[in-house]
Amino acid sequence: MTPPSPLASRLGFIAPFHVMSLLEQARQLEQQGHDVIHMEIGEPDFGTPPAIIQAGMAALQAGHTGYSPALGLPALREAIAEDYARRFGVQVPARRIVITAGASGALLLALAALVSPGKEVLLSDPAYPCNRHFVHLLEGRAVNLPVGPDSQYQLTADHLAQHWSADTVAALVATPSNPTGTLLSAEALAALNTAALARGGRLIVDEIYQGLVYDQAAHTALAQSDQLFVINSFSKYFQMTGWRLGWLVVPEAYLNAVNRLAQNIFIAASTPAQHAALAAFQPDTLSLLEQRRLELKSRRDALLPMLQQLGFRINSQPQGAFYVYADSSTLAGDCEALSARLLQQAHVAITPGIDFGQHRAREHVRFAYTVPVPRLEQMAERLRKVL
Amino acid sequence: MTPPSPLASRLGFIAPFHVMSLLEQARQLEQQGHDVIHMEIGEPDFGTPPAIIQAGMAALQAGHTGYSPALGLPALREAIAEDYARRFGVQVPARRIVITAGASGALLLALAALVSPGKEVLLSDPAYPCNRHFVHLLEGRAVNLPVGPDSQYQLTADHLAQHWSADTVAALVATPSNPTGTLLSAEALAALNTAALARGGRLIVDEIYQGLVYDQAAHTALAQSDQLFVINSFSKYFQMTGWRLGWLVVPEAYLNAVNRLAQNIFIAASTPAQHAALAAFQPDTLSLLEQRRLELKSRRDALLPMLQQLGFRINSQPQGAFYVYADSSTLAGDCEALSARLLQQAHVAITPGIDFGQHRAREHVRFAYTVPVPRLEQMAERLRKVL
């Protein structure tokens, strides 16, 4: 008889996304001929801008299909550095910008450089679920701190002061945040960074939704300090999800470590995708992206009152990304049952709060406004009938 | 004053590639106008086959730029399953085939599913260096077992019997092997698999260079067992290095764990690359790849006597991949000094053995025959003058 199979202990901490089973049910409904309104996936519905597509095709035609350098194409690292200067007035040397396979690759590099086994990373609850799973992948301990409307669902310097232990090495925040769409101000970021550095740790700032903000100018945490890690991506603002391209901005002291990790873990990011991304910063692409940002703003402005009329409560105004984190507690006791019911009865797919943490998670659902306003109206109409 | 920065302990085990500094020197020589013969990088010089390029361009034109499913495009998983049936007569259900960001992604998934902190993975020394670094990334212990010509530089079931401890969870072998180009027979693979399973562990087989064999028919370890992990890639045989696309064949018992890990660690592999790879199995592409395989065989057959005449010793006939692991001990005491000298004096770039391990590593160098025969002759002519 064969002995039992070894299974890594980390699997005990790595949960599947609940939304995946919902997606499967949605697919079945569609196969039965039903029209499902998809508001569950964190993916813009616009498609990659044409100039980026064209640049990708030209790169393939020109045979740019070999390995690129481990830290990325020099021209793309320079282009990102120039974009920081142009859009945000911040000088970030290209050597500190490392191109990765999506923001996932950037997060893995940053945490692999910081987290030894048993060390702690402070995170908000709710938060993007992969963050805590990456910490567990690397045998660290994710410390999920409950946050609510009083701090716009964000960690504060006070949280760090209260929960930083001898084992803590980093705090991870996101602005704009997934699932809540809330922001951190320049002052809040500066205070978080100071709090982390003062305790011998580092702040990691997820800026994946950078540029998708609606009530103020976009900014970057890099304006506050060159000692923090910044995670970014071509997926959301530049709408290149399926290309899998992101970047990590690395503090000088970690360049050697990140270089060694990148060489070994990834070899390199996709070469055709990097060539395509060079077109992301062209004026015509940037102006198209601005139009799309305004379209997302209109959707948000349309969606919020619809949800409130349906009985959802919005406890903190979402100001960025393309998510509304809605309090469903007066409508249903359990977000999972509610999401399942809305899918089956109204053919509207949304994400249950339990994908984002534990703190009051069963009382919330996330709506992604990745469909046009007429479709949002249709969604509201359908929900009205079943709620 | 700021306290010192946290640095993950794993960095103590993750070395940079020595060949990188060599590459930098080669670049400088080229900037000075010198002609460098590159035999240091594990990348075929043919470029991606035209039909794959065309399929990639068509996918971009059609707007296939969104996320694909976490485990890969169903059509590509099916195509790989069909290829196993057609080329090797082995039935591998598509559900066990997981598409990854290069073989790097596949290795990360397999080890993340198997290795808890402190657990051991048996590897050969010499071996592909990233393998042991991935084990350390996940806080396992890489046990590097010296191998030599007596076992064609491969682990054997005897190695497993001798070195398997209570903490061992897996053994990792590669066929064809990097850096030695040697193969494991069907019988050797079966014995290794039985030895691992009998001890409650798993065999991981790196088949990244599958198909690039010169003196016998290609085979797969999957013909021996459905209980082992197989790592594969579109990089080498299909010559898609820069696209970053690979796959992992997963034993049934690990599908759930690998699914959860893939969702969280990668989200998905590149969508355009997956669409492009669908053209990899077309008859015209396969016949082009066969021509290229024969070209590599000619190069190997030309290179081996050249190296022997120069005074290198080939202790085990390389039968696959595109590498010769040459014993340089009668020519120089140290491979690093030798590589540097050959680059500076002959403008020939090769990889020092110390990139592949410690066992007699300073007495070896690796030649990649990724240049045509006339260029190999030029290389030999240049080395003759300086050796």
Domains annotated for chain B, with CATH where assigned, are 9-47+285-386 (3.90.1150.10), 50-282 (3.40.640.10)
Our measurement of the distance from residue B40's CA atom to the centroid of its chain's CA atoms, rounded to an integer in Å, reads: 14
DSSP sequence for B169-208: EEEEEESS-TTT-----HHHHHHHHHHHHHTT-EEEEE-T
A376 neighbors A357 (Cβ within 8 angstroms): no
The pLDDT value recorded for residue B17 is 84
Q: Show the CA angle centred on residue A238, arms to residues A236 and A242, nearest 5°.
A: 65
What is the tens place of the pLDDT at every residue in A23-34?
889 999 999 999
pLDDT value at A59 more than 60: yes
Q: Which two tokens stand for residue A117?
A: 């086994």
Nearest chain B residue to A273, by CA: B243
Tell which A residues from 297 to 336 touch B, by Cβ distance under 8 Å: none
A127 neighbors A356 (Cβ within 8 angstroms): yes
Q: How far apart, in Å, are the Cα atoms of B297 and each of B42, B76, B88, B369? A: 16, 29, 21, 10
Measured between alpha carbons, how far is B197 from B188 in angstroms, rounded to an integer?
14
- Torsion angle in degrees (nearest 10) through CA of A172, A175, A180, A185: 110
The packing angle between helices A255-265 and A102-114, to 10°, is 120
A56 neighbors A275 (Cβ within 8 angstroms): yes
Q: Which residues of chain B neighbour A201 with C-beta distances below 8 Å? A: 6
Q: Which amino acid is at A76?
A: L
pLDDT in tens, chain B (387 residues): 556 789 999 999 998 888 888 888 999 999 999 999 999 988 989 999 999 999 999 999 999 999 999 999 999 999 999 999 999 999 999 999 999 999 999 999 999 999 999 999 999 999 999 999 999 999 999 999 999 999 999 999 999 999 999 999 999 999 999 999 999 999 999 999 999 999 999 999 999 999 999 999 999 999 999 999 999 999 999 999 999 999 999 999 999 999 999 999 999 999 999 999 999 999 999 999 999 999 999 999 999 999 999 999 999 999 999 999 999 999 999 999 999 999 999 999 999 999 999 999 999 999 999 999 999 999 999 999 999
Q: Are strands A364-368 and A323-327 parallel, antiparallel or unpaired?
A: antiparallel
Inter-chain CB proximity A65 and B240 less than 8 Å: yes
A96 neighbors A249 (Cβ within 8 angstroms): yes
* Among A129, A267, A270, beta carbon nearest to B104: A267
pLDDT value at A1 more than 60: no
The pLDDT value recorded for residue B21 is 83
Nearest chain B residue to A115, by CA: B8
Q: Which two tokens stand for residue A216?
A: 């103020």
The pLDDT value recorded for residue A3 is 60
Residue corresponding to tokens 């790196």: B206
Q: Which residues of chain B neighbour A264 with C-beta distances below 8 Å? A: 14, 129-130, 133-134, 137
Q: Which residues of chain B neighbour A267 with C-beta distances below 8 Å? A: 102, 104, 130, 244
Tell which B residues from 27 to 66 touch A, by Cβ distance under 8 Å: 41, 43, 47-48, 53, 56-57, 60-61, 63-66
Tell which A residues from 108 to 147 touch B, by Cβ distance under 8 Å: 108, 112-117, 119, 129-130, 133-134, 137-139
Q: Is the dihedral of CA A268, A270, A276, A279 positive or negative?
A: negative
Measured between alpha carbons, how far is B85 from B72 in angstroms, rounded to an integer?
19
pTM of the prediction? Answer: 0.96
Please determine, for the modelled complex, whether the ipTM score is greater than 0.90: yes
The pLDDT value recorded for residue B2 is 55
Q: Which two tokens stand for residue A47?
A: 């498609």
Q: Which two tokens stand for residue A61?
A: 């035609």
Q: How confident is the model at residue A19 (pLDDT cuts 50, 70, 90)?
A: confident
Mean pLDDT (whole number) for A354-361: 96
Instruction: Report the run of H or E that residue A324 belongs to, with start and end.
Output: strand A323-327
Q: Which residues of chain B neighbour A110 with C-beta distances below 8 Å? A: none
